[in-house]
């Protein structure tokens, strides 16, 4: 599922923030707090106890700091420690006293909201959250807190409206994603969520968060065309190769090879996929050039083997002795450098057989391929063709019968082999 599956995650982050982050400065006019000679010593010890989970001692030190200096930030820290220690009612009592003295301090209302929620008092939490928004309407933390309470209470429209009012003046990515999440998860309106995100992406831009949610919605709707376009936009924004690769995979699946090729060249996200596209579209010149470059960059002999096949497949004159010599030399070198794959053994073996270069060596290579894949009809066809070239018509016929049983006569090359081998067998008889 998507990372946006639940709007209640907002509330969990809120709790984490309220219990760990330093408070925002109070809105009251700056005050001169009382000096305290050992203030820094108390702070260091309080932070030490807090770090080691001794909330009781840390609370006492921060509380003492507040009493000696009159600075409400210290009292706020002590109240956070009460909340961390699950002493919610004690925290509420102290918050109530502090709010009388500092009625404009928005942090106090946020903390009070947390304690009400921990005590399962959603109605009371709603009031204090509304007060926090009233004090700081431009603070997204307050907006999240209020919207989360509406979501807990099942008041989905109110939660959406809270975000909508904020989004009307800020047009930020975070808020539009939360609005889309409510449309999708609470109202079950995926198309409305898509329209909202698409409008935002066209007017403001498709940030990674916005595009990720869009991609998830398109994926669930199996809308591959739009899904690929979103991944392509994400690549444009982030230059992350993974997004380009995902888009190119979808384009290739939909046979939009030009789009896939352009994206893969720009991003260099997946040269294997690009090579596969070139091979599929028979762009052998591009494919062989890419395989050669990959071999030079990596020294992986697999690319040398690919290069060898591609220059042969792309040549209009496959009987050219220079070409055949080059292909044989390159594939042989790839084997020496570590390539051990039946596909390439069979390819070189068939080439040696079909062009009457070295039929016996060709048969040896084909037999090596068959050891790895004894049921491959195409490898058996190569073996049958080798026996035919040596005039071993009976052996060729017996092997070719296995191929026909597996594949029939739909393949033109197999059909041609079968006719010649049958003729050879009849003539030998």
Kindly report, residue by residue over 236-250, the tens digit of the pLDDT. 999 999 999 999 999
Whether the pLDDT of residue 343 is over 90: the answer is: yes
Q: Which of 104, 139, 167 is the C-terminal boundary of a domain?
A: 167
**Which percentage of the chain shows pLDDT scores above 90?**
88
Q: Using alpha carbons only, how large is the chain's radius of gyration in Å? A: 36
pTM: 0.75
Kindly report, residue by residue over 253-303, the tens digit of the pLDDT. 999 999 999 999 999 999 999 999 999 999 999 999 999 999 999 999 999
Q: Count up the domains in the chain and report the number.
A: 3
Let me know: does 142 contact 174? Beta carbons within 8 Å: no
Whether the pLDDT of residue 329 is over 70: the answer is: yes
Kindly report, residue by residue over 147-205, the tens digit of the pLDDT. 999 999 999 999 999 999 999 999 999 999 999 999 999 999 999 999 999 999 999 99
Tokens of 44: 């260091």
Q: Would residue 392 count as lying in a domain? A: yes
Confidence of residue 25 (pLDDT cuts 50, 70, 90): very low
Whether the pLDDT of residue 2 is over 80: the answer is: no
Let me know: does 224 contact 254? Beta carbons within 8 Å: yes
Please tell me the predicted confidence (pLDDT) of residue 31. 57
What's the CA gap between 284 and 290, in Å, rounded?
10
Please tell me the predicted confidence (pLDDT) of residue 34. 80
Same domain, residue pair 145 and 17: yes
* Per-state percent for the chain, helix, strand, coil, to nearest 5: 75, 0, 25
What's the CA gap between 192 and 203, in Å, rounded?
17
Show the domain range for 293: 287-340
What's the CA gap between 343 and 288, in Å, rounded?
17
Same domain, residue pair 330 and 380: no
Q: Would residue 281 count as lying in a domain? A: no
Let me know: does 176 contact 213? Beta carbons within 8 Å: no
**For position 35, which CATH number holds?**
1.25.40.10
| Mean pLDDT estimate for the chain | 90
The mean pLDDT of 49-61, rounded to a whole number, is 93
Whether the pLDDT of residue 121 is over 70: the answer is: yes
From start to end of 164-255, where are the E strands? none
Confidence of residue 428 (pLDDT cuts 50, 70, 90): low
Same domain, residue pair 48 and 101: yes
Same domain, residue pair 311 and 385: no
Please tell me the predicted confidence (pLDDT) of residue 200. 96
Q: Would residue 275 count as lying in a domain? A: no
Q: Would residue 429 count as lying in a domain? A: yes
Same domain, residue pair 404 and 428: yes
Same domain, residue pair 363 and 399: yes
């Amino acid at each position: 599922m998507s990372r946006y599956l639940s709007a209640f995650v907002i509330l969990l982050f809120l709790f984490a923030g309220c219990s760990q982050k330093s408070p925002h400065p109070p809105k009251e006019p700056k005050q001169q707090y009382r000096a305290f000679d050992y203030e820094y010593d108390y702070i260091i010890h309080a932070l030490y106890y807090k770090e080691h989970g001794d909330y009781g001692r840390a609370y006492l030190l921060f509380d003492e700091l507040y009493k000696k200096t009159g600075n409400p930030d210290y009292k706020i820290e002590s109240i956070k420690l009460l909340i961390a220690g699950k002493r919610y009612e004690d925290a509420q009592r102290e918050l109530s006293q502090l709010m009388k003295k500092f009625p404009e301090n928005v942090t106090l209302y946020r903390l009070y909201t947390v304690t009400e929620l921990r005590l399962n008092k959603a109605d009371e939490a709603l009031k204090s959250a509304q007060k926090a928004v009233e004090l700081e309407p431009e603070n997204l933390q307050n907006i999240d807190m209020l919207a989360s309470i509406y979501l807990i209470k099942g008041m989905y429209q109110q939660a959406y409206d809270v975000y909508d009012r904020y989004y009307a003046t800020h047009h930020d990515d975070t808020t539009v994603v939360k609005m889309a999440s409510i449309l999708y998860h609470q109202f079950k309106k995926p198309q409305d969520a898509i329209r909202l995100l698409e409008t935002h992406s066209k007017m403001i831009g498709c940030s990674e968060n916005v595009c990720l949610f869009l991609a998830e919605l398109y994926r669930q709707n199996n809308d591959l065309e739009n899904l690929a376009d979103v991944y392509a936009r994400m690549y444009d924004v982030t230059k992350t190769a993974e997004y380009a690769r995902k888009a190119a995979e979808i384009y290739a699946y939909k046979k939009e090879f030009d789009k896939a090729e352009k994206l893969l060249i720009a991003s260099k996200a997946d040269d294997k996929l690009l090579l596969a596209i070139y091979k599929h579209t028979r762009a052998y010149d591009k494919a062989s050039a890419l395989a050669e470059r990959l071999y030079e960059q990596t020294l992986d002999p697999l690319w040398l083997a690919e290069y060898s096949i591609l220059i042969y497949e792309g040549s209009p004159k496959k009987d050219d002795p220079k070409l055949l010599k080059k292909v044989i030399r390159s594939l042989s070198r790839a084997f020496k450098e570590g390539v051990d794959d039946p596909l390439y053994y069979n390819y070189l073996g068939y080439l040696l057989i079909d062009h009457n270069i070295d039929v016996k060596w060709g048969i040896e290579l084909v037999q090596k391929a068959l050891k790895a894949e004894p049921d491959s009809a195409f490898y058996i066809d190569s073996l049958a063709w080798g026996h035919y070239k040596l005039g071993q018509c009976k052996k060729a016929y017996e092997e070719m019968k296995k191929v026909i049983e597996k594949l029939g006569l739909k393949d033109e090359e197999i059909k041609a082999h079968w006719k010649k081998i049958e003729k050879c067998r009849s003539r030998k008889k």
